[in-house]
Structure 1
Amino acid sequence: MKHSKLLSPFKLNHLKLNNHVVMAPMTRSRAINNLPNDLMATYYKQRASTGLIITEATSPSKSGLGYPNIPGIYSNEQTIGWRKTTEAVHKKDGKIFLQIMHTGRIAHQLNLPEGANVIAPSAIQAVGEIFTSEGLKPHSKPREMTINDIETIQNDYVTAAKNAIVAGFDGVEIHAANGYLPNQFLNKGSNNRTDNYGGSIENRTRFVLELAEKISTVIGPEKTGIRISPFGVFNDMALYNDIPETYNYLVKQLNNLNLAYLHMAALSDKIPEGFLEALATKFNGNVIFNGGYGNNLEQAEKIVSENNNYLISIGFPFIANPDLIERIKQDAHFNEANQDTLYTPGEEGYTTYPTLN
């Protein structure tokens, strides 16, 4: 078989995955009123042949709902709604983690429920615009989080993780990448605090490390993964002088927690050659590589063949190819995704893509 290692089973701590391929988290905006629903369950069930599904970003609190129609996991109704998805995936012998994401300053007040505010490490407005019920608008200027806010949001994450386990997920992924709240604490461009959560590397990584420790203590480290994006500039993340030192320190400290995996997103052409590969060797556990591998399966096969702890996550090709694993097996062509229906409500361009059969 052409991609024999990629398609072979993988032991992710307590979980037996059917292959080395992970479906990367992707926003699809089908959670009307922020509620997971039957349509979403169908979407994930269609893709359950992959080794591990990581869901779209899901908010742990009302203040984290920066985009329209993204799901939450902070209410009983949302938890029950997500159970439809986990049951559907498990019936297909799939495994699924919930990605927990607070949008922080990548938000607009119009997108938040009543009583919720746009908050971030510092009161620094993100450059750019965001889609709202009134069309594109500049990001709202966030309120700087107090120490009490930090503790509250961390507790919200812990509750969300517990809810995820109740909903039947095999684990959770902390989204500390792509310019969202945990990443905003790490980055000097969005964090100019002068207390214990800003300034030095130790202080800027504190929020993320506390979050990972609190969640893994409650649901188990084997059920807790984390996603990072070193050198990523998405969502107005700045490039700053000690990025390598920041992430080397972060990974070294994460080793103390024995997490399920480290998920690394290569979303920038600013990443020095070999940096992510070197960073991966410093992590003691499983590593998921992400970054265009759906279009470079030979490189994906090479990576997983060289280290028994490595997995590959693929994003965009999964949108239009629910049977992506079968297509890889048969070396078949991939369907093209319809760009116009990526974030629109309804089943069109979501659950309607044809399979080989």
Structure 2
Amino acid sequence: MGAAQAAEFWALGLGEPWPVSGLHGYGVAEVLEQIKPHLYPADTSGDADTTINVSIVGRPNVGKSSLLNKLYGQERAIVSDVAGTTRDTIDALFERGDRTYRLIDTAGIRRKKKIEYGNEFFMINRAFKAIRRSDVVLLVIDVVDGIKDQDRVLAERIAAEGKACVVVLNKWDAVEKDDKTYLKSIAYVREMLPPVRWADIVFTSALTGQRTLSIFDKVDEAVEQHRKRIKTSVLNEVLRDAVLWQAPPTRKNSQQGKIYYCNQVAARPPTVAIFCNAPKLFSDNYKRYLERKFREQLGFKSTPIRMLWRGKRLRRMVQDESKKSRYPKPYQAG
């Protein structure tokens, strides 16, 4: 019906008409797909520097400097059993294949209450700055000591900064293994580090070099996923299937959340805006369910996904404010 009515507008000679329904969200995603290239032209400002920044973070004495030396191919950082040997961030720039990497070794980050104001305070701040300027963060964990509270704090920091992440379980050569050790270790990391449960995991030994070079493959994949853009039509198809499979729950007051459409509004990290009737009607469990469906169908491995929930009333408010700004208020004397 809508397509037939829209066909009449061909007579205007303005191009193809697009039938939409703002009330039900019909056709809105298709229109957004058409206008997005004009609203958000391709950003070429970052094309000049194609270097992939990889920061190496973790608690003291987990093998960060040893890992840097193995990845770099020579002794770039001082390695010692004494905690706190690395006092500042160390950059190592090199080429591998057709890509250029900048490895950033950081100081070991201890619990906040153990940090005194002075050199250690400033070197911890520099480590946090290294996370902010990196494309991928290697969260190094001593597999012998296990995951501590500070590892969880670092995981929360990485997720909050929206950075891609690869969890490196170092000192794997020192672990007594059986046929279940590998799967148990993966389940352990997923359970203990919920902020980065989406991160890929690699088991290495910086001492022997075991699987250290495979980290580059994980980094390349993480960068690709972190910068990925998905067509609006594909996103909405996945969203439609997810809602059909599990509809939003109904609240006690008989109110039910309704999702109209979604659109990816940014990358690094991938950010999806979901337009609905009222964001407060959607529980955290349902939001996590949608995120899991996006990952299952579209990938997004080793990168966080930010989901922005936009209510219908909020959109109307923005439209009203934009209309008011176009027409200045009349002058009133006195």
Q: Same fold (TM over 0.5)?
A: no
TM-score (norm 1): 0.28
TM-score (norm 2): 0.30
Highest Rg: 1 or 2? 2
Greater relative contact order structure (CA < 8 Å, 6+ sep)? 1
